[in-house]
Amino acid sequence: MTTASPGSFPTTRMRRLRAATWRRRLVRETVVTTDDLVQPLFVVEGSNVKDAVASLPGMARLSIDRAVEAAQEAYDLGIPALALFPVVDGALKDEKGKEATNPKNLLCRAVMAVKKAVPDIGLICDVALDPYTTHGHDGIFDGDDVLNDVTVDVLVKQALVLAEAGCDVVAPSDMMDGRIGAVRQALEQRGFFNTMILSYAVKYASAFYGPFRDAVGSRSNLGPKGKHTYQMDAANVSEALREAALDVAEGADMIMVKPGMPYLDVLAAVKREINVPVLAYQVSGEYNMILGAATNGAFDRAAAIHESLLAFKRAGAAAVFTYAAVEYARALQKR
Ligand code: PBG
């Protein structure tokens, strides 16, 4: 097959395609709709609580009643799913993250309440121990490093209590090896055939998670190695393909690449290689940067958010976790 060679100037003038709004709309290759958005919410104990997160302007830690209202609002705006994260009372944290497997923990109660009030919104919950451990690691820490297989056993229990509570998508974000297969097997054995697994297969050890750790109170004392012995090295991309392929083989329905904007090359590579939906997370530090720059007058906030979400879609994301989901959905409605 021969392809027509592009003409040269002035036969071809690229600006013809850009000369009016309608022309640009007509030939646009990528769109962002509310269908593409997942709104993260932070849930805290209490009632009628809306406790602003200083490092995430516009985000708050919500008590379950307020989270239900937020879920209703997101649903009414057309957002398909929420990612719920618990802010766990310090008194309930321990070395092993035991509270993660309590079927009546805050997150399980939040899932039940939201599912009851807004049954048709999808609920996605992290499977990882960091909100529940005193040290803030995603697994069981022996004073030197996070233990893999021991942690996986606990993660399986955590995934099961979440599925039991009504969580639609369990999302292991811990980066232990072998956890997807273990979680999938347990879900099948317990009859949770329809519970999806969104694997944070490609999760980098990143500085960009800072504001999230403030929001859930997991920054604490990770130790000198930080999360570098389980989260990926920022320098690597072929390793991302191995991680994603392993998790698909183990039973992941969807794959997450995280962080987002600094890793769009990774997202595009994973999307090219892997035949499951690939999602991306515009993480807390990215959101903080956009809002901070907008507040400093560097650029227009809505335009920057729109452009960033387009970039995710262009790179191949099926959907984007973004703290700006509700704000963006409201802006779409006004257009
Ligand atoms: C926990 C988890 C983290 C984020 C989502 N789940 C932080 C971490 O791994 O330390 C970060 C999200 C964000 O920064 O917005 N496993």
Asked whether 138 lines ligand 1 (CB < 6 A), one says yes
Angle in degrees, CA 320, 245, 97, rounded to 5:
65
Give yes or no for a contact between 34 and 329, defined as CB atoms under 8 angstroms apart.
yes
Residue closest by Cα to atom 16 of ligand 1: 173
Task: Copy the structure tokens of residue 170.
Answer: 């369990």
97 three-state secondary structure: coil
Asked whether 283 lines ligand 1 (CB < 6 A), one says yes
Q: Is the peptide bond before 259 cis (omega within 30 degrees of 0)?
A: yes
pLDDT value for 6: 67
Residue closest by Cα to atom 6 of ligand 1: 173
Residue 260 CB neighbour total at 10 angstroms: 27
Q: Is 3 inside any structural domain? A: no
Q: Is 15 inside any structural domain? A: no
For the question of residue 203 being annotated catalytic, the response is yes
Backbone angles phi, psi at 42, to 5 degrees: -100, 130
Cα 251 to ligand 1 centroid, rounded to whole Å = 22
Cα 35 to ligand 1 centroid, rounded to whole Å = 23
Cα 87 to ligand 1 centroid, rounded to whole Å = 12
Q: Is 23 inside any structural domain? A: no
Q: Is 196 inside any structural domain? A: yes
Asked whether 36 lines ligand 1 (CB < 6 A), one says no
Residue 9 CB neighbour total at 10 angstroms: 7
Instruction: Specify the CATH number for the domain of residue 291.
Output: 3.20.20.70
Closest ligand 1 atom to residue 282 Cα is 15
Q: Is 240 inside any structural domain? A: yes
Residue closest by Cα to atom 2 of ligand 1: 173
CA distance 50 to 161: 26
pLDDT value for 223: 86
Q: Which of 291, 252, 247 is nearest to 52 (CA)?
A: 291
Q: Which of these is catalytic: 93, 203, 271, 313? A: 203
Backbone angles phi, psi at 273, to 5 degrees: -90, -25
Q: Is 9 inside any structural domain? A: no
Q: Is the pTM of this model over 0.85?
A: yes
CA distance 165 to 154: 17
Rounded to 10 degrees, what is the CA torsion of 318, 68, 112, 60? 70
Residue closest by Cα to atom 8 of ligand 1: 209
pLDDT value for 330: 98
Asked whether 323 lines ligand 1 (CB < 6 A), one says no
Angle in degrees, CA 310, 315, 238, rounded to 5:
150
Cα 131 to ligand 1 centroid, rounded to whole Å = 10
Cα 106 to ligand 1 centroid, rounded to whole Å = 18
Q: Which of 150, 62, 149 is nearest to 113 (CA)?
A: 62
Burial category of 5 from C-beta neighbours within 10 Å (exposed 0-12, middle 13-18, buried 19 and up): exposed
Q: Could you tell me the residue range of the domain that residue 157 belongs to?
A: 32-334
pLDDT value for 224: 86
Residue 102 CB neighbour total at 10 angstroms: 15
pLDDT value for 218: 78
Q: Is 147 inside any structural domain? A: yes
Mean pLDDT per 10-residue section of the chain, whose length is 335 residues? 72 96 97 98 98 94 98 98 97 96 98 98 98 95 94 98 98 98 98 98 96 85 90 98 98 98 98 97 98 97 98 98 98 90
The count of domains in the chain is 1
Q: Is 186 inside any structural domain? A: yes
pLDDT value for 185: 98
pLDDT value for 2: 54
User: Crossing angle, helix 106-117 and helix 64-76, to 10 degrees?
Assistant: 40
Q: Is the peptide bond before 40 cis (omega within 30 degrees of 0)?
A: no
Asked whether 132 lines ligand 1 (CB < 6 A), one says no
Asked whether 113 lines ligand 1 (CB < 6 A), one says no
Cα 306 to ligand 1 centroid, rounded to whole Å = 23
pLDDT value for 30: 97
pLDDT value for 5: 65
